[in-house]
Chain A
């Protein structure tokens, strides 16, 4: 056939084309066929490849010298061995580009362990995991190219065979997924109550162990949600864009009621009878659930009771309600680079609130002097 017609000269030019990056797809195929034809061809190709590699000069003029690189490297040696992504992010915030590429390579680093185990090394088959401490956020890129934002207090892990057949991720906490499209290998996020199946889409999952709900908010595309663990529900729920799914770990009637009425103000609730432990909301304003990943954080009509845990995580501190009554006051706004102090200060203007910050704790008191006045305003608002 055709490959027998290839002359030695053709091959030499193909090899050079490949090495100099000027080969096209068809020629790659021709070269591949030729190399695979026999061991001698393979060796011939390898010899040229080696000659090419060995004759390169790496002056690194555009980057740093070995000496400079050692100085940089030395600093990394003392960095904590876990959650590297985070420490790097912090350290390199000034030079964001560097930070970004480092994060990428830390992910890659984890992947490499897989290759190493496959080749010449024996190391325990630990899953790859990322932990984001409270008060921090992080962005990682998975080996398949999926982009993931991790919120404070989140742990994400995957096994080293990630992406071989399926792309399985385990999540505790909150993450926003921008999944790289790959129909062959479904992307599955496992939480303590539900599994979310995606192919290529953007969605947010919130599954903190200290909260009674697990929710999945779909920004774009399609996802399937299935129940796992103790829930006896075998239903698979299909979500389309702008839908939010909420799963209740333990079903308390009152809670479902309050949750749904709160959400009821804007989105429409569908399907309630068949799923005793879950709710689906359609037509949700997804930015409200995903904006935590951006520096701009949008809050709309959020009661302080549910806002407090978000603030706790974002700023890594504890909020104590001296008066539980405060929990029902709702807030709207956009947080960008504000400190907690600034946020609480602004809140003071719109609610009968007094606060005191001591070290890592914020105590919230009801400002009784202003309560009546605010009550009147609130009532007026509600009747509008």
Chain B
């Protein structure tokens, strides 16, 4: 999947807006999705992704890509997102993250981008596989996971609505994620 995007780099470098448009339309949504994991704000996520891509476009003459274009974009968005998070923290604005420095440090030190993830996040195939896995989960587990992942509900909200304990909610989420990790491992 990555090479799909990689093949446009040379043209983008030459200033071809058409290629930029193709790449933009292909990667915009997945990048927003990723950014949103970090900063928990869909609107800001779009801003960040746009800004990163704009910067890449404006600096295209100076950028040297060692690995893949795909991974480069991903790393840039990742850095932007972390910076945004830090910025939001210093500004003490409300981010849906618990507001401690420890968490920030934690994310900064553990939320690394690996090329694999970059590859997968742009891949329609991975998305389908995950969808299928979620479909096949036991009913209650599926319900909890969907509320958590797709409706962005908090564990507490889910627990209250389904009359479960918070720990049970977490266990359901763990089981669903565990299934997905198996798919990811197999797919490697």
Give residues in A with beta carbon < 8 Å to B: 12-13, 15-25, 28-29, 31-32, 35, 42, 45-58, 60-64, 66-67, 69-70, 72-74, 76-77, 81, 101-102, 104-109, 111-113, 115-116, 119-124, 141, 143-145, 180
Contacts and interface: CB of A to CB of B under 8 A. Distances in A.
Given A54-B117, A54-B121, 12 more contacts: A13-B167, A16-B177, A58-B30, A58-B32, A60-B46, A70-B21, A76-B54, A108-B48, A108-B80, A123-B64, A144-B90, A145-B91
Contacts, number: 214
Interface string B89-108: 01100001110101100100
Nearest to B100: A25
B136 interface: no
A107 B51 CA distance: 11
Contacts of A67: 25
A141 B120 contact: no
Contacts of A60: 29, 32, 42, 46
29 contacts: A13-B171, A17-B170, A21-B154, A22-B98, A25-B102, A28-B103, A45-B110, A47-B181, A48-B181, A50-B181, A53-B37, A55-B130, A56-B149, A57-B149, A57-B150, A58-B36, A61-B42, A63-B42, A66-B29, A69-B28, A73-B50, A105-B51, A105-B84, A106-B51, A112-B76, A115-B83, A120-B72, A123-B59, A123-B63
B70 interface: no
B4 interface: no
B143 interface: no
B137 to A, nearest CB: 11
B37 A115 contact: no
A120 B66 CA distance: 6
Contacts of B34: 53, 56
Given A21-B97, A108-B83, A108-B84, A52 B167 contact: no
B17 A31 contact: no
Contacts of A46: 110, 112, 114
Nearest to A101: B47
Given A16-B174, A22-B155, A55-B180, A121 B64 contact: yes
Contacts of A73: 24, 50, 53-54
Contact of A109 (B55, B62, B127): B55
Contacts of A20: 148, 154-155, 170, 173
A114 to B, nearest CB: 9
A49 B47 contact: no
Contact of A105 (B40, B47, B96): B47
A16 B173 contact: yes
A50 B117 contact: yes
A28 B42 CA distance: 25
Contacts of B62: 123-124
A21 B83 CA distance: 19
A314 to B, nearest CB: 28
Nearest to B188: A47
Residue among A20, A23, A120 with the most chain B CB within 10 A? A20
A369 B117 CA distance: 80
B58 interface: yes
A23 B156 CA distance: 12
B106 A32 contact: yes
Interface string B13-50: 00001001100110011101110110010111111101
Contact of A23 (B84, B103, B127): B103
Contacts of B43: 62-63
B100 A28 contact: yes
A93 to B, nearest CB: 17
B110 A35 contact: yes
A155 to B, nearest CB: 19
B50 A69 contact: yes
Given A56-B33, A105-B84, A121 B91 contact: no
A51 B30 CA distance: 14
Contacts of A16: 170-171, 173-174, 177
Contacts of A115: 79, 83
Given A24-B98, A62-B43, A63-B42, A54 B120 contact: yes
Contacts of B48: 105, 108
Given A73-B50, A77-B57, A66 B106 contact: no
B185 A54 contact: no
